[in-house]
Structure 1
Amino acid sequence: MEVLKVSSKSSPNSVAGAIAGVVRESGAVEVQAVGAGASNQAIKAIAIARGYLAPSGIDIVCIPAFASISIDGDERTAIKLIVEPR
Protein backbone atom coordinates (compact mmCIF):
# COMPACT_ATOMS: atom_id res chain seq x y z
CA MET A 1 0.00 0.00 0.00
CA GLU A 2 1.36 3.41 -0.97
CA VAL A 3 2.11 5.84 1.89
CA LEU A 4 1.52 9.59 1.54
CA LYS A 5 3.19 11.75 4.18
CA VAL A 6 1.45 15.02 4.99
CA SER A 7 2.96 18.03 6.76
CA SER A 8 1.30 21.13 8.19
CA LYS A 9 2.50 23.01 5.08
CA SER A 10 0.95 20.53 2.60
CA SER A 11 -1.77 21.85 0.33
CA PRO A 12 -5.01 19.93 1.02
CA ASN A 13 -6.04 20.17 -2.64
CA SER A 14 -2.75 18.67 -3.83
CA VAL A 15 -2.89 15.87 -1.26
CA ALA A 16 -6.54 15.21 -2.21
CA GLY A 17 -5.53 14.82 -5.84
CA ALA A 18 -2.80 12.36 -4.85
CA ILE A 19 -5.24 10.39 -2.65
CA ALA A 20 -7.83 10.24 -5.45
CA GLY A 21 -5.20 9.11 -7.97
CA VAL A 22 -3.82 6.34 -5.76
CA VAL A 23 -7.32 5.11 -4.82
CA ARG A 24 -8.26 4.93 -8.51
CA GLU A 25 -5.02 3.07 -9.38
CA SER A 26 -4.39 0.82 -6.36
CA GLY A 27 -7.67 0.82 -4.45
CA ALA A 28 -6.26 2.06 -1.12
CA VAL A 29 -3.72 4.49 0.31
CA GLU A 30 -2.19 5.19 3.73
CA VAL A 31 -1.90 8.83 4.79
CA GLN A 32 0.55 9.62 7.62
CA ALA A 33 0.64 12.82 9.66
CA VAL A 34 2.68 13.86 12.71
CA GLY A 35 1.27 16.72 14.77
CA ALA A 36 -1.94 18.70 14.95
CA GLY A 37 -1.33 20.88 11.89
CA ALA A 38 -0.42 17.92 9.68
CA SER A 39 -3.43 15.93 10.94
CA ASN A 40 -5.69 18.88 10.12
CA GLN A 41 -4.36 19.09 6.55
CA ALA A 42 -4.70 15.31 6.10
CA ILE A 43 -8.34 15.26 7.23
CA LYS A 44 -9.19 18.21 4.97
CA ALA A 45 -7.50 16.42 2.06
CA ILE A 46 -9.53 13.25 2.63
CA ALA A 47 -12.77 15.26 2.69
CA ILE A 48 -11.80 16.97 -0.58
CA ALA A 49 -10.80 13.62 -2.13
CA ARG A 50 -14.29 12.28 -1.38
CA GLY A 51 -15.66 15.06 -3.56
CA TYR A 52 -13.18 14.23 -6.34
CA LEU A 53 -14.08 10.52 -6.32
CA ALA A 54 -17.87 10.74 -5.80
CA PRO A 55 -18.73 11.54 -9.46
CA SER A 56 -16.94 8.29 -10.44
CA GLY A 57 -19.17 6.33 -8.06
CA ILE A 58 -16.33 5.73 -5.57
CA ASP A 59 -17.26 6.34 -1.92
CA ILE A 60 -14.19 6.30 0.34
CA VAL A 61 -13.90 5.65 4.05
CA CYS A 62 -11.08 6.48 6.44
CA ILE A 63 -9.77 4.08 9.09
CA PRO A 64 -7.65 5.87 11.72
CA ALA A 65 -4.81 4.23 13.66
CA PHE A 66 -1.52 5.11 15.32
CA ALA A 67 1.88 4.33 13.83
CA SER A 68 5.31 4.56 15.41
CA ILE A 69 7.79 6.14 13.01
CA SER A 70 11.42 7.27 13.24
CA ILE A 71 12.30 10.87 12.37
CA ASP A 72 16.00 11.78 12.63
CA GLY A 73 16.54 8.90 15.05
CA ASP A 74 13.64 9.91 17.33
CA GLU A 75 10.59 7.69 17.73
CA ARG A 76 7.42 9.68 17.01
CA THR A 77 3.76 8.73 17.04
CA ALA A 78 1.95 9.44 13.80
CA ILE A 79 -1.69 9.31 12.87
CA LYS A 80 -2.16 6.71 10.16
CA LEU A 81 -5.29 7.14 8.05
CA ILE A 82 -6.09 4.23 5.76
CA VAL A 83 -8.30 5.42 2.91
CA GLU A 84 -10.17 2.82 0.87
CA PRO A 85 -13.42 2.45 -1.06
CA ARG A 86 -16.51 1.49 0.93
Structure 2
Amino acid sequence: MEILKVSSHSSPNSVAGAIAGVIREKKAVEVQAIGAGAANQAIKAIAIARGYLAPIGVDLICVPAFTNIVIDGEERTAIKLICEQR
Protein backbone atom coordinates (compact mmCIF):
# COMPACT_ATOMS: atom_id res chain seq x y z
CA MET A 1 0.00 0.00 0.00
CA GLU A 2 1.34 3.44 -0.90
CA ILE A 3 2.18 5.74 2.01
CA LEU A 4 1.66 9.51 1.89
CA LYS A 5 3.42 11.47 4.63
CA VAL A 6 1.77 14.72 5.73
CA SER A 7 3.38 17.54 7.70
CA SER A 8 1.84 20.56 9.39
CA HIS A 9 3.01 22.62 6.39
CA SER A 10 1.40 20.36 3.75
CA SER A 11 -1.29 21.90 1.57
CA PRO A 12 -4.57 20.02 2.18
CA ASN A 13 -5.62 20.53 -1.46
CA SER A 14 -2.36 19.06 -2.78
CA VAL A 15 -2.54 16.10 -0.40
CA ALA A 16 -6.21 15.58 -1.35
CA GLY A 17 -5.25 15.41 -5.02
CA ALA A 18 -2.57 12.84 -4.23
CA ILE A 19 -5.02 10.79 -2.15
CA ALA A 20 -7.65 10.88 -4.91
CA GLY A 21 -5.08 9.88 -7.53
CA VAL A 22 -3.83 6.88 -5.55
CA ILE A 23 -7.40 5.80 -4.69
CA ARG A 24 -8.38 5.90 -8.38
CA GLU A 25 -5.30 3.86 -9.33
CA LYS A 26 -4.75 1.44 -6.43
CA LYS A 27 -8.04 1.60 -4.45
CA ALA A 28 -6.26 2.24 -1.09
CA VAL A 29 -3.66 4.55 0.47
CA GLU A 30 -2.11 5.05 3.90
CA VAL A 31 -1.74 8.64 5.14
CA GLN A 32 0.79 9.17 7.97
CA ALA A 33 0.99 12.21 10.26
CA ILE A 34 3.10 12.99 13.32
CA GLY A 35 1.79 15.72 15.60
CA ALA A 36 -1.41 17.69 15.95
CA GLY A 37 -0.74 20.08 13.06
CA ALA A 38 0.05 17.28 10.64
CA ALA A 39 -2.99 15.27 11.77
CA ASN A 40 -5.16 18.35 11.21
CA GLN A 41 -3.86 18.80 7.65
CA ALA A 42 -4.31 15.09 6.92
CA ILE A 43 -7.94 15.06 8.10
CA LYS A 44 -8.71 18.18 6.03
CA ALA A 45 -7.09 16.54 2.99
CA ILE A 46 -9.18 13.38 3.39
CA ALA A 47 -12.37 15.44 3.63
CA ILE A 48 -11.43 17.32 0.45
CA ALA A 49 -10.50 14.06 -1.32
CA ARG A 50 -13.97 12.65 -0.53
CA GLY A 51 -15.37 15.63 -2.44
CA TYR A 52 -13.05 14.94 -5.38
CA LEU A 53 -14.06 11.27 -5.55
CA ALA A 54 -17.82 11.51 -4.88
CA PRO A 55 -18.78 12.69 -8.42
CA ILE A 56 -17.29 9.49 -9.90
CA GLY A 57 -19.23 7.31 -7.46
CA VAL A 58 -16.40 6.53 -5.04
CA ASP A 59 -17.22 6.63 -1.33
CA LEU A 60 -13.94 7.15 0.55
CA ILE A 61 -13.69 5.64 4.03
CA CYS A 62 -10.90 6.11 6.55
CA VAL A 63 -9.74 3.85 9.38
CA PRO A 64 -7.49 5.55 11.97
CA ALA A 65 -4.72 3.69 13.81
CA PHE A 66 -1.36 4.29 15.48
CA THR A 67 1.97 3.17 14.08
CA ASN A 68 5.56 3.46 15.26
CA ILE A 69 8.10 4.84 12.80
CA VAL A 70 11.81 5.59 13.11
CA ILE A 71 13.04 9.09 12.24
CA ASP A 72 16.73 9.92 12.65
CA GLY A 73 17.21 6.87 14.86
CA GLU A 74 14.31 7.81 17.18
CA GLU A 75 11.08 5.86 17.37
CA ARG A 76 8.03 8.10 17.06
CA THR A 77 4.31 7.39 17.22
CA ALA A 78 2.34 8.49 14.17
CA ILE A 79 -1.32 8.50 13.26
CA LYS A 80 -1.94 6.28 10.26
CA LEU A 81 -5.15 6.85 8.34
CA ILE A 82 -5.94 3.95 6.02
CA CYS A 83 -8.17 5.25 3.23
CA GLU A 84 -9.99 2.99 0.81
CA GLN A 85 -13.05 2.76 -1.38
CA ARG A 86 -16.25 1.46 0.08
TM-score, normalised by the number of residues in structure 1: 0.99
Q: What is the CA–CA distance in structure 1 between the aligned matches of 2:7 and 2:35, rounded to whole Å?
A: 8
Query: Residue 29 of structure 2 corresponds to which residue in structure 1?
Result: 29
Unaligned runs of 5+ in 2: none
Pairwise CA RMSD of aligned residues? Answer: 0.3
Given the alignment of the two structures, is residue 46 of structure 1 paired with residue 75 of structure 2, yes or no? no
The alpha carbon displacement at 1:82 in A equals 0.2
Secondary structure at the counterpart of residue 40 of structure 1: helix
Paired residues, what number? 86
The alpha carbon displacement at 1:31 in A equals 0.1
Deviation above 6 Å: which 4+ runs of structure 1? none
Instruction: Give the share of equivalent positions with the same residue, in percent.
Output: 79
TM-score, normalised by the number of residues in structure 2: 0.99
The alpha carbon displacement at 1:29 in A equals 0.1
Q: After TM superposition, list the pairs within 5 Å mapping 1:1-86 onto structure 2.
A: 1-86=1-86
